[in-house]
């Protein structure tokens, strides 16, 4: 067994899982992929949830609505793991059918660690 050092981590090929989610409502054979997030991306999303919880009841809380759509922007990807959405797509994703967004979100949530307590309260 070898001690892992920073040189190893610099050259290591990342092996994040990617899961395909079928979305027949968007067309025959339509699908999106969701990916396992990096630690940094996960923490950025969790920080946003903490901010949203702290702002509950204030006028600024609207800045953090659509948290599932926000998570999908971070988690959805193509088959190579490249993002397919950006922050400009949050509103569009939030306006899609709940059943579809829930299916994709649940796949992303199952693949990643999401602050479940925060999600249940929002």
Q: What is the pLDDT of residues 15-45, one digit of tens each?
A: 789 999 999 999 999 999 999 998 888 888 8
Q: Please give the residue range of the domain that contains residue 38.
A: 17-121
Cβ(70)–Cβ(85) under 8 Å? Answer: no
**pLDDT score for 92:** 96
Q: Domain for residue 116, yes or no?
A: yes
Q: Number of folded domains in the chain? A: 1
Higher pLDDT among residues 45 and 80, named by residue: 80
Which token pair is 3?
């001690």
Range name among 15-29, 51-65, 72-86 with the lowest pLDDT average: 51-65
**pLDDT score for 43:** 83
Q: Domain for residue 47, yes or no?
A: yes
CA-to-CA separations, 75 to 8, 61, 81, 93, in angstroms, rounded:
26, 22, 9, 13
Q: Domain for residue 30, yes or no?
A: yes
Higher pLDDT among residues 16 and 1, named by residue: 16
Q: Domain for residue 2, yes or no?
A: no
**Residue 78's domain is classified under what CATH number?**
3.30.2220.20
Q: Domain for residue 65, yes or no?
A: yes
Q: Is 64's pLDDT higher than 70?
A: no
What mean pLDDT is predicted for residues 73-93? 94
- Specify the DSSP element, H or E, that contains 33: strand 31-35
Model pTM above 0.85: no
Give residues with Cβ within 8 angstroms of 106, minimum separation 6: none
Q: Domain for residue 7, yes or no?
A: no
Q: Domain for residue 11, yes or no?
A: no
Q: Domain for residue 28, yes or no?
A: yes
């Amino acid at each position: 067994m070898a001690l892992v050092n920073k040189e190893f981590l610099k050259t290591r090929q990342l092996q994040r899982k990617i899961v395909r989610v079928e979305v027949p409502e968007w067309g025959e054979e339509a699908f999106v992929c969701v990916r396992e997030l990096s630690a940094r991306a996960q923490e950025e999303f969790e920080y946003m949830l903490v901010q949203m919880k702290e702002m509950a009841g204030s006028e600024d809380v609207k800045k953090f609505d659509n948290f599932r759509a926000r998570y999908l922007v971070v988690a959805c990807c193509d088959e190579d793991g490249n993002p397919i959405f950006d922050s400009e797509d949050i509103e569009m994703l939030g306006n899609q059918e709940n059943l579809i967004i829930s299916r994709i979100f649940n796949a992303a949530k199952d693949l990643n660690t999401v602050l479940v307590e925060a999600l249940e309260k929002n």
